[in-house]
Amino acid sequence: MSEPYAAAAIEGGPVAGADALVRCPWAAGSQLYREYHDTEWGRPLHGRDALYERLCLEAFQSGLSWITILRKRAAFRAAFDGFDPEVVAGYGPAQIDRLLADATIVRNRAKIEASIANARVIVEMDEPGLDALLWSFAPTGARPRPTAVAEVPAVTPESTAMARELKRRGFRFIGPTTAYALMQATGMVDDHLAGCWVGDASEAGKAASAFRRTGR
């Protein structure tokens, strides 16, 4: 089971909130979780810098609660120059020391150095670049929406293949579980449970789009 499900330590199906909207159960824990669930998680995300940020945050989350990362997200962005790979790739010992002294982020040397190393890999990549590479592992075709937390996987063949390829290219601190969490967070997969209002809205939007294309 991947984040944020694992961090929430919950089971079962979707639950109704005080606003009467039915959500995945992990979103019931805090307003920050609800906002993230409603506006970001499971929605397609593109762009080199945005995806690099998510790679970094998923790596920093390893071993911690996802809510910890969400609370520190603004501080991470400030500390890592907006997660611009071109800038972070140029970090040296002085910047590493600065980050290790910054109490507003997660001060883990291995994760900090991995973020810098990954930025260097990204800026040296040939076209089509990070966006196309990551999205090439997105599953194709329809699949049943999970109905309960127990049906949400932690690892899939696609996330295993993604992690293997990223490691081959020199990326650090991303295994199959972290890769699947990244896929969930960026909409490569949509693990909103059946009955969750976000998932239902997504299905309705797809149906409407199909109708516009085909007229049926």
Which residues are annotated as catalytic? 36, 58, 66
DSSP string, the chain: --TTHHHHT--SS-EE-TTS-EE-GGGGG-HHHHHHHHHTTTS----HHHHHHHHHHHHHHTTS-HHHHHHTHHHHHHHTGGG-HHHHTT--HHHHHHHHT-TTS---HHHHHHHHHHHHHHHHPPTT-HHHHHHTTS--S--PPPSSGGGS-S--HHHHHHHHHHHHTT--S--HHHHHHHHHHTTSS--PPTT-HHHHHHHHHHHHHHHHHH--
Which of these, 43, 137, 56, lies nearest to 99 by C-alpha position? 56
Cα dihedral 179, 174, 65, 47 sign: negative
